[in-house]
């Protein structure tokens, strides 16, 4: 699950209230324990020693580990649809190229988009079948994902790092998780179970009662405040009426009723796909090295031929709108990069207007916010990626 674990994990605490990272820690949080100790520790030392009550553990919260959503598959789809920028010329034009029946064709695979916005993509990045409502399936390197329009779906994350997981999410928040954390089942109404090697078996019935058979023994809490615990001191029984017994033979003690077990939570709905849909125009990309010196916004004289050709080409199209967009890499301060990108976009627009083109266009700088390649890889500088990010784009909406 290399790609899955790298991008879209969402931590989810499935509980009505309370929480904790490990069930072993939950016993210390039991309010019944502190209340019962307060009830039996009196100034009368002999009686207090005799009436001491063990801390009754709270039943742990059912916590679903970080689960993967649709985001990795979405990004894999988008990456597979991108045109490969020419690393030599530094210029690319990405128009819609269609075959028979309206099929969009590119070098890395075939993409079909029908009139309703449904998309079928089969390429090196995987097989994607998406509907306009965001539902669909993705079979890619990170696993198999199926998402319905109501947020339900399944994730079969078959990775290679020991973190495989099978997740089934229902539209009402119920579902199951079967992975490294164990087997978790939720009904979406407050009940659920968690069975793991580390924590044992937790059963939350959703009505204020539940059981925990784990490292601290068998704990049972009933909705009426009564319960039992097979503790190291023997059997602890809470009658729920302010009294109870400890040990064998049973020793009568005072103890307050046990608090109810809070209901388990729900699985969050799965994020839906965002079908790219039909092309909306053209994107002309000019790498900064063919226009500017490093860290400068004055267009070099030797870029005149490129701008002459570009201006002539723009004169042959009639887009609904046009925007010149400046971009930088991530080196330097955000504010500086933003200002540099704005100056470069403005300079290119002025050069095009001087050649009789782009009279109605606008210019906008995006700084380092919209990279097309990583600026770093595994914490190391990525000069090739930064070079791709330093660019000026001309977006023509058609």
Q: What is the CA radius of gyration of the chain?
A: 31
Q: Which residue has the higher pLDDT, 94 or 255?
A: 255
pLDDT above 90 coverage of the chain, percent: 35
The rounded mean pLDDT for the chain is 75
Domain ranges of the chain: 281-397
Is residue 326 within 8 A of residue 344, CB to CB? The reply is yes
Q: Looking at residue 116, what is its pLDDT? A: 66
Say how far apart CA 391 and CA 155 lie, in whole Å.
37
Q: Residue 117: its pLDDT value, please?
A: 62
What angle, 0 to 180 degrees and rounded to 10, lies between the N-to-C axes of helices 304-314 and 334-354?
A: 70
What are the helix (H) ranges across the chain? Answer: 2-7, 31-40, 45-51, 71-81, 304-314, 334-354, 383-389
**Within its chain, how far is the Cα of 278 from the centroid?**
26
Give percent helix, percent strand, percent coil of the chain, each to the nearest 5. 20, 35, 45
145-193 pLDDT tens trace: 898 999 899 988 765 444 578 899 999 989 999 988 889 999 999 999 9
By C-alpha distance, which of 94, 22, 30, 100 is closest to 59? 30
DSSP line for 351-371 = HHHHTT--TT-EEEE-TTSS-
SS3 state at 9:
strand
Cα distance between residue 303 and residue 11, in whole Å: 50
As a whole number of angstroms, the distance between CA 238 and CA 223 comes to: 12
Task: Calculate mean pLDDT across residues 62-75.
Answer: 63
C-alpha closest to that of 348 among 360, 335, 358, 338: 358
Rounded Cα–Cα distance for residues 56 and 390 (Å):
62
Asked which of 233-237, 316-320, 361-365 is least confident by mean pLDDT, the reply is 316-320
Q: Looking at residue 71, what is its pLDDT?
A: 61
Q: Is residue 304 within 8 Å of 290, Cβ to Cβ?
A: no
Q: What pLDDT does 178 receive?
A: 92
Dihedral over alpha carbons 48, 49, 50, 51 (to 10 degrees): 50
Residue 155 phi/psi, 5° resolution? -130, 120
Quick: pLDDT tens for 236-260.
999 999 999 999 899 999 999 999 9
pTM of the model: 0.52
83 pLDDT above the threshold of 70 = no
Give me the CATH topology for the region 281-397.
Answer: 60s Ribosomal Protein L30; Chain: A; (3.30.1330)
């Amino acid at each position: 699950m290399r790609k899955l674990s790298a991008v879209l994990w969402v931590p989810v605490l499935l509980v009505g209230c309370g929480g904790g990272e490990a069930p072993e820690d939950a016993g210390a949080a039991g309010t019944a324990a502190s209340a019962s100790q307060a009830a039996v520790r009196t100034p009368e030392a002999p009686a207090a020693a005799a009436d001491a009550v063990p801390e009754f553990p709270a039943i742990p919260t059912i916590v679903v580990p970080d689960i993967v959503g649709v985001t990795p598959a979405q990004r894999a789809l988008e990456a597979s649809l991108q045109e490969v920028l020419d690393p030599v010329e530094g210029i690319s034009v990405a128009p819609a190229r269609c075959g028979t029946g309206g099929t969009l064709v590119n070098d890395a695979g075939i993409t079909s988009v029908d009139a309703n916005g449904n998309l079928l993509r089969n390429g090196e990045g995987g097989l994607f079948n998406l509907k306009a409502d965001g539902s669909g399936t993705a079979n890619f390197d990170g696993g198999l994902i199926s998402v319905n329009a109501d947020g339900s779906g399944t994730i079969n994350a078959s990775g290679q790092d020991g973190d495989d997981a099978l997740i089934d999410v229902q539209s009402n928040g119920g579902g199951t998780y079967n992975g490294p954390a164990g087997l978790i089942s939720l009904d979406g109404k407050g009940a659920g179970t968690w069975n793991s090697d580390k924590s044992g078996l937790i059963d939350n019935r959703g009505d204020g009662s539940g059981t925990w058979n784990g490292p601290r023994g068998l704990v049972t809490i009933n909705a009426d405040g009564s319960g039992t615990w097979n503790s190291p001191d023997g059997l602890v029984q809470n009658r729920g009426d302010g009294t109870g017994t400890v040990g064998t033979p049973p020793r009568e003690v005072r103890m307050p009723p046990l608090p109810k077990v809070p209901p388990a939570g729900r699985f969050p709905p799965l994020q839906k796909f965002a079908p790219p849909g039909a092309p909306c125009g053209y994107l002309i990309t000019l790498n900064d090295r063919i226009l500017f010196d490093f860290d400068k916004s004055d267009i070099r004289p030797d870029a005149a031929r490129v701008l002459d050709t570009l201006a002539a080409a723009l004169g042959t199209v009639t887009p609904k709108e046009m925007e010149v967009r400046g971009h930088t890499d991530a080196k330097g301060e955000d504010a500086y990069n933003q200002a540099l990108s704005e100056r470069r976009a403005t300079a290119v627009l002025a050069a095009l207007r001087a050649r009789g083109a782009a009279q109605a266009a606008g210019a906008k700088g995006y700084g380092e916010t919209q990279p097309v390649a990583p600026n770093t890889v595994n914490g190391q500088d990525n000069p090739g990626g930064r070079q791709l990010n330093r660019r000026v784009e001309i977006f023509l909406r058609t």
